[in-house]
Structure formats: structure tokens, C-alpha cells
Amino acid sequence: MEEEIKKDVQSMLTPFRYEHCVRTAKKAEELAIRWGYSPKIARIVALAHDMAKDLSYEQYIQYAQENEIILSKEDKLVKVHLHGIIAAKMCEKKYQFTKEMTDAIFYHTTARDNMTLLDKIIYVADKIEDGRDYEGIEELRIMAMQNLDEAILESIHYSIKKCIKQQKYIHSLSIVARNDLLSKRSNRI
């Protein structure tokens, strides 16, 4: 299945995006080993996570209509979230991914409440793969190996701040994810 996914992803994406998927898979494998999850599943899901990224907005809407995917107003406002929703459905149909696997793809842009270990691995691997470069990434890479929840919280804060700066809509899933992680942190103290 892995080779098939690799081929499909390569044919659906620009070389730049395909390389991002390969690097995300490598990082997801490292995180899975560190945090006690199946490296193979983490690798496969990470490989496929952005497979719908090069489709247009119109294509997302059309795919959703053809596949009985209900998109909320908010989903449509946060356009970047749509590629995860569509890729999750594609993987379910094409490779019979389990719900756990498709959920990790579905939520890889926004995060969510009560994230599974696979959600966390994919979310973080996507943000810290070796090709990424932004302020604070080195600290985030170290944090991901020490405290996965803190790394997610940091990463959500980073993207929320970016949305505010650019006056972009913030998906409520990200706010809920942030509050969930914060509340669990205060319980630990």
C-alpha cells in the first residue's frame, strides 16, 4: 500500500509538495518511535496527508458534493482546512484507511479536542519536517521530542498569531484544541 500511495501522491502534487510529504513521513516515523506508535502507520498517513493540496477551491467543493461531505460555513471560510477534509475521504475510499488514520489527516491543519496520539504525530510532523524554516522551529523540534502536547500548543499559538496578524479567520477547532491542551496542562500542575 505504501508504494501505491507514494506513486499517487507524486502524481497528484507538485515536486515541491511531494517532497514535503516525504519529509513529513520521515519526521512522523521519528515521532512515532519516540512516543510509542506504529512507525509504519505514522509514515503512511503522513505521506498521504497533503494529497489534495494542489486541487482548487472549486474542486474541493465539487468533491465534497459528489462524496456527501457536509462542509460548514466555517470550513469554507478556512480554505486551508479543506484539503485535509478532502484527503481524509480520498484515503478512506482508495486505501480503506481506518477512522483513526483519516481523522489524523482531517484535523492536521486545525488540530482538535482530545487529539489521538496519531493526530498529534501528524500535526507536529507536518509543522517541523526538515524542510521547514521559521522563527522558533529549532526549539519546537526539540520540544516535540520532550513534550508532544507542549509542542502542539506552541504550534497552535504560532498559527493563531499568524491568523490574527493577517486578519484571517481562525477555525474554532483550533481554539477548542488550544483550550483543551491548556486545561490539561493546568490539571498537571
Give residues in contact with Fe ion (CB under 5 A): 50, 126
Q: How far is the CB of 186 from Fe ion (least distance, A)?
A: 30
Instruction: Report the 10 Å Cβ neighbour count for 29.
Output: 21
Q: How far is the CB of 109 from Fe ion (least distance, A)?
A: 5
- Give whichever of 59 and 185 is closer to Fe ion, judged by the CB atom: 59
For 44, phi and psi rounded to 5 degrees? -65, -45
- Give whichever of 9 and 189 is closer to Fe ion, judged by the CB atom: 9
- Give whichever of 23 and 182 is closer to Fe ion, judged by the CB atom: 23
Dihedral sign from CA coordinates of 13, 108, 174, 159: negative
Using alpha carbons, select from 39, 77, 30, 32 the residue that is nearest to residue 57: 77
- Give whichever of 48 and 153 is closer to Fe ion, judged by the CB atom: 48
Q: How far is the CB of 42 from Fe ion (least distance, A)?
A: 14
- Give whichever of 50 and 119 is closer to Fe ion, judged by the CB atom: 50
Q: How far is the CB of 123 from Fe ion (least distance, A)?
A: 10
Q: How far is the CB of 176 from Fe ion (least distance, A)?
A: 19
